A = this chain, B = another copy of it.
């Protein structure tokens, strides 16, 4: 199996969060195909455990027109290391500063059309230092027993992919 070689690339949208481009690629049968690609800077997600409680955030997600329970998360800033971003985002969104922060895994959220990669961390030994959310972020902190979080996954009340991965990953790996 071969890589798809780009023969043309056209930027069709440049935004603050995402860019979109259309690549024309050579496919193995010597024909050409178009690939619509969303460019994203990447993000971090943090499984923050305060003893047996998991720290979640509840927020309105305009894209899906619903309030979702999610692990604290946020985009990488320019040239920012994922570890530093995880530390920063956890403090900004929840006000908890972790003494211990370890990488769990990383994954692509939707590789069929997007290059977004999420780096997943586990944060423990939390100390409260005060939160500082972005100006247009409105977030409610939810503390929940880990077992109850797993129940929310089973009941499909947690609907966010990174949060499902976070909970199931910590349980198994």
A residues with a Cβ closer than 8 A to B are 1-4, 6, 12-13, 15-18, 20, 22-23, 25, 27-28, 31, 33-38, 40, 43, 58-68, 70, 73, 105-118, 135-136, 138, 140, 150, 153-154, 156, 159-162, 164-165, 168-169, 171-173
Is A20 a contact partner of B13 (Cβ separation < 8 A)?
Answer: yes
Could you say how many copies of this chain the assembly holds?
2
Indicate which residue in B40, B61, B135, B173 contacts A154 across the interface (CB closer than 8 Å).
B173
Excluding A17-B36, A153-B173, 14 further A-B contacts by CB distance (< 8 Å) are A15-B20, A15-B36, A18-B20, A20-B20, A35-B63, A38-B114, A61-B108, A63-B111, A64-B115, A105-B164, A107-B164, A108-B160, A108-B161, A171-B172
